[in-house]
Structure 1
Amino acid sequence: MACGTLVVLDIHTLQVVYEDYSVLTLSVPYVPGFLAFREAPVLLELLEKMKAGANLSYPLLHHVDGLTLSGVRQLLKAKKDCAEDFITLTGCSGRIWGVAMRSTDGCLKPIFISIGDRISLDTAIKIVKMTCKYRVPESIRQADIRSREYLRKHQGKIYK
């Protein structure tokens, strides 16, 4: 079973202005590094539902173009006294894949930010910085909190 949660926040107040949930039985097995095959269908369903009826954005880095999670953490550790809170993720090919951002002082568990659909890397970085009250962007934190609460409230109905 999986519970997908879509949360949209007001960028200025960080208050939730839209939320929706979808619970489904997964048919694709878990394969490390291929989570999108399991997660994308439920998220696409929620996005389509929102676009159709609302009036109104899980990054993992295993090994990409010479970049590894342990390598990124080492780079962040080396820059711990630097005023800049992120490092540019440039692969062996010279391509910039995004940035790894330290959301809180001393945190070596980075947030990965990449270019999205119709958004530049600079804009994506600004949005993440604006929405990080805690270790993760507030939209992700709220989606996690609300999906757990939704599952607690509906546990008997979902698993029958």
Structure 2
Amino acid sequence: MSILPQEELVKKWESEQASLRQQVVEEDTEDWQRCHDFTGLERVGGVDLSFIKGDDVNACAQLVVLSYPDLELLYEDSQMVTLTAPYISGFLAFRETPYLLEALQRLETTQPSLLPQVVLVDGNGLFHYREFGLACHLGVLSGLPCIGVAKNLLQVQGVEKNEEHQSQIASLQKGGESFPLTSDSGKVLGKALRSSDSSTKPVYVSVGHKISLDTALRLTHSCCRYRVPEPIRQADMRSREYLRVHFPTAADT
């Protein structure tokens, strides 16, 4: 992929995104999603990539599976990978998805009983330039329900980090409260969630695949002990620790 000139690569990726976008399911598909307390949900996954400082090619791809609702570790997979696709804004998924998908496939092959019923992704879903972020990409290719949970606001489709946005954040009084991220066209692409009483900085939740926004929001909040939901927090911590142990002279980013 990376041997194509960037302009051609962008066109190719835009076409692939548009095609895969048609497969995204933006509603609840599982029985547990329709239960107020998520009865039947037992395994929640989290994925993340951590890079060696100063190196944007070699990374640790991390998958964790936690029990639900206790959020105790059931499975973890840390794998060093070499990213082959270039970084182009709006196309992060083409760099990262293959390695996260491989982690899920390894688990399905070796211990299928531990395969997560939903995956929380450190990144965006429908809240994206073309409504097809990393969580959508991974969801469609894996067939699993996925939720995008971003730590920083992606300024797209008229959503901006302006005074109005800051005012909306300030209006969130307690954990679980949220406000919509509405595009210029009027479509709600995601929601800003105050994930805990102690955290005033929100996370940004959007649909990845096979789940509704309201359910994604409730589940994300229920997985939060701190600001970042536990599956993603554990994936991030464990991938960074892996780099610290195996590359002690190069601090992770």
Asked if TM exceeds 0.5, the reply is yes
Q: How many residues align?
A: 155
Look up the match of 1:75. 168
Q: Say whether residues 1:92 and 2:149 are aligned partners.
A: no
Give the TM-score normalised by structure 2.
0.55
Q: Say whether residues 1:17 and 2:74 are aligned partners.
A: yes
Structure with bigger RCO (C-alpha 8 Å, 6+ apart): 2
Residues in 1 aligned to 2:193 and 2:185: alpha-carbon distance in whole angstroms: 21
Look up the match of 2:229. 137
Q: Say whether residues 1:5 and 2:54 are aligned partners.
A: no
Structure 2 gap segments, 5+ residues each: 1-57, 125-149, 249-253
Q: Say whether residues 1:40 and 2:97 are aligned partners.
A: yes
Residues in 2 aligned to 1:88 and 1:69: alpha-carbon distance in whole angstroms: 13
The amino acid across from 1:44 in the alignment is L
Distance 1:73 1:22, change over 3 A: farther
Q: Say whether residues 1:28 and 2:85 are aligned partners.
A: yes
Instruction: Report Cα offsets for 1:90-129 as digits up to 9, x if no partner.
Output: 2121211111102234745321111232111121111111
The amino acid across from 2:93 in the alignment is A
Give the TM-score normalised by structure 1.
0.83
Secondary structure at the aligned position of 2:204 is classed as: strand
Residues in 2 aligned to 1:83 and 1:129: alpha-carbon distance in whole angstroms: 8
Residues in 1 aligned to 2:175 and 2:87: alpha-carbon distance in whole angstroms: 39
Percent of residue pairs identical? 44
> Structure 1 segments of 4 or more deviating over 6 A?
none
Look up the match of 2:207. 115
Structure 1 gap segments, 5+ residues each: none
Distance 1:83 1:128, change over 3 A: closer
Q: Judge conservation of contact 1:89–1:100 (CA < 8 Å) in 2.
A: yes
